[in-house]
Structure 1
Amino acid sequence: MRTQVDALIIGFGKAGKTLAPYLAKQGLKVIVVEKSPEMYGGTCINIGCIPTKALAHQAELISELQIEDAASRSLKYEQAIHEKDELVAFLRAKNFDNVNNTPGAEVITGMASFISDHEVQVETASGSMVIEAGRIFVNTGARPFIPDIPGIHSDKVYTSTEMLNVAKLPRRLTILGGGPIGLEFASIYASFGSEVTLIEHGDRFLQRADRDIAEAVQQVLESKGIRIALQTKVERITDEAGAVKLSLMSPGGREELETDAILVAAGRQANTEGLNIEAAGIRLDRRGFIHVDETLQTNKPHIWALGDVNGGPQYTYVSLDDYRIVKDQLFGSGKRSTQSRQHVPSAIFIDPPLSHVGFTEDEALKQGYKIKVVRWAAAAMPRARQLKKTAGLLKAVIDIETDRLLGFTMFAAESSEIINIVSVFMNSGEPYTVLRDTIFTHPTMAESLNDLLSQV
């Protein structure tokens, strides 16, 4: 079977699922190919932001209730997994309907692979078909990277995707990797009551953060009972009766660590396996991601790569902005590109969340700025006292010569919301004094911006 379309989107990620109905409404015939019915809606909906943050919220509630009984915590965890599954199923169906019910757009479930730069073969449950498209958009995302460690393919070793389906709370959990994914899972499972060990091969915790911020985060995580092992290498993983053992090497020597489950959070790699990229003549970058220019086009002008697969910042909201770039390039002014992005915020959903936008203090100094740095303790905020969430620290980096806010970090309750205010403000180009003197409602965490910037 062969069919022709105006646009073929491979992968059901945020950019693709938003682009498909838009293109269809412009009168184009559009097909979206997704290899798994469990991934309608993409990573965020099914195995990323939504399920992990749902678990993080439930874990936070458990922590607030101060439930000490292990059986009760385990039961709460099982309930949280069930509620997460219901939420994901609802959103997955909604995402499918949003695309498939748009006139001119169709979802096909199957495995896509390039035959040429305009032709893609799709293997479905009912047979094979060839789709010929004038424009092709690859939106297949990324998947967990599995390091080459002897024994790592044990059935007690999980990726972040698989960990979300572990129905029973592990008494002991060991996490390989101290990045955002590892930290979020560490915070979640420690709050539910697991004994968590976080193993990081580097010698610095939160390597990209300023040391004062990293130390504050480490202190809070350790207060939750999380053990953080730096400069530690996993040499071997061995299955034991009812458990699993890690052979570790650190500056302190060799150690054997027994645990009930291992989460591998050692980074992500492009989801291009099986796509037969070579047949399309598409270039990959040195990391294996699809190489794109500032308009997200590949070296084939009619093929774009959107979302995590293009090697950009791996956030669903950046994938959404990829859609905006393509939309503008095809039907707008053509001015929007990745170069247009300024002050993109980020948040790590530990408890409390760690959020950041702009330069860190170290980065600003390396860029040659003359700066003023101010800090404010979260415990000084009335709202933090109300919430009984007094842990944390706020930090701002100011350019002395222009009075512009160069960077802001907030490790405190509700920071994942506040960071968006600061991002919008930084994009305005106004001096920090405007934000300092802005009127915020009281009592809120937002008014901490007044107090912090009054220290300049």
Structure 2
Amino acid sequence: MSARFDAIIVGAGQAGPALAGRLTSAGMTVAVVERNLFGGTCVNTGCTPTKAMVASAYAAHLARRAADYGVHVPAGVSVDFAAVMARKDAISGKSRDGVESWLRGMERCSVHQGHARFVSPREIRVGEELLAADRIFLNVGGRALTPDMPGLGEIQHLTNSSILRLQRLPRRLVVIGGSYIGLEFAQMFRRFGSEVAVIEKGPRLASREDEDVSDAITGVLEREGVEVRVGAECIRFERRGDDVAVGLDCASGATEIVGDQVLLAIGRRPNTDDLDVANAGIELDGRGYVKVDDELRTTAPNVWALGDCNGRGAFTHTAYNDFEIVAANLLDGASRRLSDRIPAYALYTDPPLGRVGLTEAQARATGRTIRVGKRPMTRVARAVEKGETDGFMKIVLDAESEEILGAAILGVGGDEAIHGVLDAMNLGARYSELERAVPIHPTVSELIPTIIQEALP
């Protein structure tokens, strides 16, 4: 059976459904192909479920600190892990069902469930169906990377997806990887009541951040009882009855950590290895990501790649922006480009880290003359009033051009407050303009102009 459409979209993640809405509104017929869960990583195994769990972990943590606020919790604090997971599932399921219902009810949109493979540059096979279109858009996402590590094939391990299906709270969770996914799970499971150890091969946690940010995050986790081991070489695994022994060689500390669950959080890989992209002339890079130009076009004419599979952003907001770029260029006569996007993201530990632009180290490496403003959260009134004073705020400036180069806000509300800097950067504002702003008191954001005024060479 064959069918022809104006466009085919492979994958119903963050970019795909929105693009289907724009294309069908423009009068095009669209086939959307999804082989697993509607909504992609964000809705099913990423942002939505994990941030629901982070919220539960924060509630438990705050309840344990109730006495700090003059509140008495007479029966103590316990966590109903099954209820936590049920709440997460309900929130995620509602979002997933919403995406699927939207697509199935969309005029001129045809939904096809199954595994898509390229037959030619204009044809895709899904089961017994052969779909053809003059425009094809890939939004196939990614999955957890599972490297070849000694003993890994002999044990059962968790990924960011399978950990969301746990039925029982681990007694001791060993997290392999000290980056964003691993750190969020480490803190939340510690707050749920598990013993937690984080093992990182590199010299520090969150290694893409400045050292002061990494050190502050490490301090927060260690104060909550998370064991942190960095500089771990030759990580290996061995089954010990119902437990797993994780062997490691570090400069100090025990050479073995034993836990009943192991989470691998050491990277992602794109879902491009089973699409037969060579049949369409689509080139992949050495890591399997689809090669795209500045407007997200692949090496095959009239084929675009959006979201995680193109390696040009690993976040929901960058995937959605990919959709905006493609839709604007195709339908609105615009000339939007990936290179215009200012990088920004958040780490949802508690306190959260909001980041935009260059780090201090990256800015120094450019050879520019920079100024750096920094203030601990102990000197932010809003943080003091909320009793959450871990972290600091930092902004990096070009002393000569007055360009705002980047910022990091590790502290209460940091994931929201960072948008004041991001918006100013998107508007091309000079820091001398931002420092004249009159923000609301008491907020975290109100300190941004002050930090700029106090910035030092």
Task: Give the superposition deviation at 1:29.
Answer: 0.8
Task: Give the superposition deviation at 1:21.
Answer: 1.5
Q: Which residue of 2 aligns with 1:87?
A: 91
Q: Which amino acid letter does the alignment assign opposite residue 388 of structure 1?
A: G
Residue 401 of structure 2 aligns to a residue whose secondary structure is coil
* TM-superposition CA deviations, 1:352-410 (whole Å, max 9, x none): 00111111111111111101112101111221122211111111112111222211110
* CA distance, structure 1, for counterparts of residue 77 and residue 269 of structure 2: 34
Q: Which residue of 1 aligns with 2:133?
A: 133
Instruction: Please point out which of 107, 118, 127 is paired with 2:122.
Output: 118
TM-score, normalised by the number of residues in structure 1: 0.94
Cα RMSD for the two superposed structures: 1.9
Residue 391 of structure 1 aligns to a residue whose secondary structure is coil
Q: 1:5-24 counterparts in 2 under 5 A?
A: 5-24=5-24
Q: Is the 8 A contact 1:370 1:401 kept in 2?
A: yes
Q: Identity over the aligned pairs, expressed in percent?
A: 35
Residue 164 of structure 1 aligns to a residue whose secondary structure is helix
Q: Which residue of 1 aligns with 2:34?
A: 34
Provide closer, same or farther for how the CA distance between residues 74 and 129 of structure 1 changes in structure 2, counting only shifts above 3 A. farther
Residue 9 of structure 2 aligns to a residue whose secondary structure is strand
Q: Which residue of 1 aligns with 2:69?
A: none
Q: 1:275-290 counterparts in 2 under 5 A?
A: 275-290=275-290
* CA distance, structure 1, for counterparts of residue 425 and residue 296 of structure 2: 25
TM-score, normalised by the number of residues in structure 2: 0.94
Q: Is the 8 A contact 2:138 2:305 kept in 1?
A: yes
Q: Which amino acid letter does the alignment assign opposite residue 190 of structure 2?
A: A
Task: Give the superposition deviation at 1:100.
Answer: 1.5
Q: Which residue of 2 aligns with 1:109?
A: 113
Q: Is the 8 A contact 1:67 1:73 kept in 2?
A: no
Q: Which residue of 2 aligns with 1:208?
A: 208
Of 355-364 and 74-83, more deviation after overlay is shown by: 74-83
Residue 102 of structure 1 aligns to a residue whose secondary structure is coil
Q: Which residue of 2 aligns with 1:48?
A: 46
* CA distance, structure 2, for counterparts of residue 339 and residue 204 of structure 1: 30
Provide closer, same or farther for how the CA distance between residues 117 and 444 of structure 1 changes in structure 2, counting only shifts above 3 A. same
Match status 1:436 vs 2:440: no
Q: Which residue of 2 aligns with 1:386?
A: 385
Q: Which residue of 2 aligns with 1:408?
A: 407
* TM-superposition CA deviations, 1:236-288 (whole Å, max 9, x none): 32222221111222234872211011110110011013211121121001221
* CA distance, structure 1, for counterparts of residue 454 and residue 254 of structure 2: 47
* CA distance, structure 1, for counterparts of residue 45 and residue 178 of structure 2: 19
* CA distance, structure 2, for counterparts of residue 266 and residue 273 of structure 1: 19
Task: Give the superposition deviation at 1:448.
Answer: 2.0
Task: Give the superposition deviation at 1:289.
Answer: 0.5
Residue 49 of structure 2 aligns to a residue whose secondary structure is helix
* CA distance, structure 2, for counterparts of residue 326 and residue 300 of structure 1: 15
Q: Which residue of 2 aligns with 1:239?
A: 239
Q: Which amino acid letter does the alignment assign opposite residue 60 of structure 1?
A: Y
Task: Give the superposition deviation at 1:338.
Answer: 0.5
* CA distance, structure 1, for counterparts of residue 279 and residue 397 of structure 2: 50
Provide closer, same or farther for how the CA distance between residues 75 and 234 of structure 1 changes in structure 2, counting only shifts above 3 A. farther
Match status 1:293 vs 2:293: yes
* CA distance, structure 1, for counterparts of residue 149 and residue 24 of structure 2: 46
* CA distance, structure 2, for counterparts of residue 150 and residue 400 of structure 1: 50
Residue 255 of structure 2 aligns to a residue whose secondary structure is strand
Residue 335 of structure 1 aligns to a residue whose secondary structure is coil
Residue 158 of structure 1 aligns to a residue whose secondary structure is coil
Of 252-261 and 14-23, more deviation after overlay is shown by: 252-261
Of 74-83 and 417-426, more deviation after overlay is shown by: 74-83
Count residues in correspondence: 448
Unaligned segments of structure 1, at least 5 residues: none
Task: Give the superposition deviation at 1:300.
Answer: 0.9
Q: Is the 8 A contact 2:79 2:192 kept in 1?
A: no
Q: Which residue of 2 aligns with 1:176?
A: 176
Residue 369 of structure 1 aligns to a residue whose secondary structure is coil
Q: Which amino acid letter does the alignment assign opposite residue 2 of structure 1?
A: S
Residue 21 of structure 2 aligns to a residue whose secondary structure is helix
* CA distance, structure 1, for counterparts of residue 65 and residue 408 of structure 2: 31
Q: Which residue of 2 aligns with 1:76?
A: 80
* CA distance, structure 2, for counterparts of residue 375 and residue 340 of structure 1: 27
Of 228-237 and 284-293, more deviation after overlay is shown by: 228-237
Q: Which residue of 2 aligns with 1:454?
A: 453
Unaligned segments of structure 2, at least 5 residues: 67-72
* CA distance, structure 2, for counterparts of residue 236 and residue 72 of structure 1: 39
Residue 190 of structure 1 aligns to a residue whose secondary structure is helix
* CA distance, structure 2, for counterparts of residue 233 and residue 78 of structure 1: 36
* CA distance, structure 2, for counterparts of residue 32 and residue 6 of structure 1: 11
